[in-house]
């Protein structure tokens, strides 16, 4: 009688194995995400107090600033000017990049496509190129003295009126392949019976794409759109890398560039931390706002 009792007690005893497997992830999350976020929040509420002429030891000390840094970040005209530029840039990138990704995914899923494997790799390959290398590559192609595009179009691709389109081109060139792969993978998971039934009913490939494939792709389209919104808000590589090529890109062209300037050029870590929190809050609002709008309109939930 004692053995069954011991077995039941051992069965009720919680196993430590799941917690041991979770420990590395929890430690990494704490060290590289939770702690930096907490420290950023701490810095956002501090400021440097200067006494006297600011010379000598003890003349500068860190004191509490309350919500003063956050208030200054919210009312900063440079930050909101950067947001307006990113809004125009992001609208252009999202429409063109996701449109091309959807078009390529539908084309590759067609039964008539040839060399599908080679085409997939060719479209995806630019995503494998690091952002800095891609920006440098396009930067040299944009230079008036080197650009073959300038010889054909006779347009200054680094000018004040075209620089946004030039940066958007870099992002579209590099990001279309990734989004195409996500959408194409979702299409391949759809049962082929749907398409065969539609063809038996006389539906053309265009009607199948519009009435069957795109509606079934809606969850994947929402996923890629949210990822693209977040990536667009955090745009930093393209303008920073292209900035030496032209004087039309300021040091605060995007919100993250302003954070970089405040933190590492002017040395104002407190202002940079406060601006980072504002950027994170706006990113959160935009992402969840988009998800809420899509959910209400596409799925009819209140």
Query: What does pTM read for this prediction?
Result: 0.84
Residues 6+ away with beta carbon under 8 Å from 185: 220
- Integer Cα distance of 178 and 223 in angstroms: 12
Question: Mean pLDDT lowest for which of 44-58, 195-209, 262-276?
Answer: 44-58
Average of per-residue pLDDT across 14-22? 83
Averaged over 221-240, what is the pLDDT? 92
Model confidence at 55, pLDDT cuts 50, 70, 90, reads low
**Tens of pLDDT, residues 110-122:** 767 777 788 888 9
Mean of all residue pLDDT scores within the chain = 87
Round to whole Å and give the CA distance between 161 and 39: 39
**pLDDT above 60 for 277:** yes
pLDDT-based confidence at 208, cuts 50/70/90? confident
Rounded to whole angstroms, what are the CA distances from 263 to 130, 210, 271, 274, 292? 24, 49, 8, 11, 34
Nearest to 258 by CA among 243, 244, 276: 276
Distance of alpha carbon 179 from alpha carbon 227, whole angstroms? 9
CA dist., res. 122 & res. 117, Å (int) = 9
User: Average pLDDT of 57-63?
Assistant: 70
pLDDT at 301 over 60: no
- For position 41, what pLDDT does the model report? 93
- Integer Cα distance of 75 and 98 in angstroms: 33
Q: What is the mean pLDDT of residues 18-41?
A: 92
Percent of the chain with pLDDT over 90: 57
d(CA 77, CA 83): 10
The model's pLDDT over 135-156, given as tens digits with 9 standing for 90+, comes to 999 999 998 888 888 778 888 8
Instruction: Check: CB of residue 100 under 8 Å from CB of residue 228.
Output: no
How many residues are recorded in the chain?
302
pLDDT of residue 302: 42
Q: Taking Cα atoms as reference points, which of 225, 33, 187 lies closest to residue 108?
A: 187
Give the residue among 159, 166, 172 at the shortest CA–CA distance from 103. Answer: 172
Average pLDDT over residues 124-132: 92
For residue 51, CA distances in Å to 59, 60, 268 come to: 5, 6, 17
pLDDT given at position 6: 54
Model confidence at 37, pLDDT cuts 50, 70, 90, reads: very high
pLDDT attached to residue 278: 94
Least confident of 5-9, 215-219, 290-294: 5-9
Token pair 């970089």 in the structure block, residue: 260
Q: Is the pLDDT of residue 49 over 80?
A: no
Q: In which band, very low, low, confident or very high, does the pLDDT at 7 lie, cut at 50, 70 and 90?
A: low
Closest by Cα among 273, 253, 254, 278 to 262:
273
Compute the distance between CA of residue 245 and CA of residue 135 in angstroms, rounded to an integer: 11
User: How far is 39 from 210, CA to CA, in rounded Å?
Assistant: 49
Q: Which domains does the chain have, with CATH numbers?
A: 70-298 (1.10.3720.10)
């Amino acid at each position: 009688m004692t053995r069954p009792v011991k077995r039941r007690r051992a069965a009720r005893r919680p196993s430590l194995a799941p917690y041991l497997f979770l420990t590395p992830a929890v430690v990494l999350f704490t060290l590289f995400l939770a702690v930096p976020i907490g420290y950023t929040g701490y810095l956002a509420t501090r400021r440097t107090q200067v006494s006297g002429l600011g010379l000598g030891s003890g003349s500068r000390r860190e004191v509490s600033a309350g919500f003063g840094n956050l208030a200054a970040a919210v009312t900063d005209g440079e930050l909101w000017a950067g947001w307006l530029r990113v809004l125009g840039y992001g609208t252009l990138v999202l429409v063109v990049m996701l449109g091309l990704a959807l078009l390529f995914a539908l084309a590759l899923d067609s039964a008539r496509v040839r060399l599908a494997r080679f085409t997939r790799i060719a479209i995806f390959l630019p995503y494998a190129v690091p952002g800095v290398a891609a920006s440098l590559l396009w930067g040299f192609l944009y230079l008036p003295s080197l650009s073959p595009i300038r010889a054909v179009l006779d347009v200054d691709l680094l000018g004040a009126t075209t620089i946004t389109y030039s940066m958007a081109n870099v992002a579209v060139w590099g990001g279309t392949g990734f989004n195409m792969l996500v959408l194409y993978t979702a299409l391949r998971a759809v049962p082929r019976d749907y398409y065969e039934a539609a063809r038996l009913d006389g539906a053309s490939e265009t009607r199948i794409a519009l009435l069957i494939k795109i509606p079934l792709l809606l969850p994947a389209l929402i996923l890629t759109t949210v990822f693209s919104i977040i990536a667009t808000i955090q745009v930093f590589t393209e303008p920073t890398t292209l900035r030496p090529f032209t004087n039309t890109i300021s040091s605060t062209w995007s919100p993250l560039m302003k954070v970089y300037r405040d933190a590492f050029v002017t040395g104002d870590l407190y202002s940079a931390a406060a601006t980072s929190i504002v950027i994170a809050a706006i990113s959160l609002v935009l992402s969840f706002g988009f998800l809420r709008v899509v959910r209400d309109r596409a799925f009819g939930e209140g």
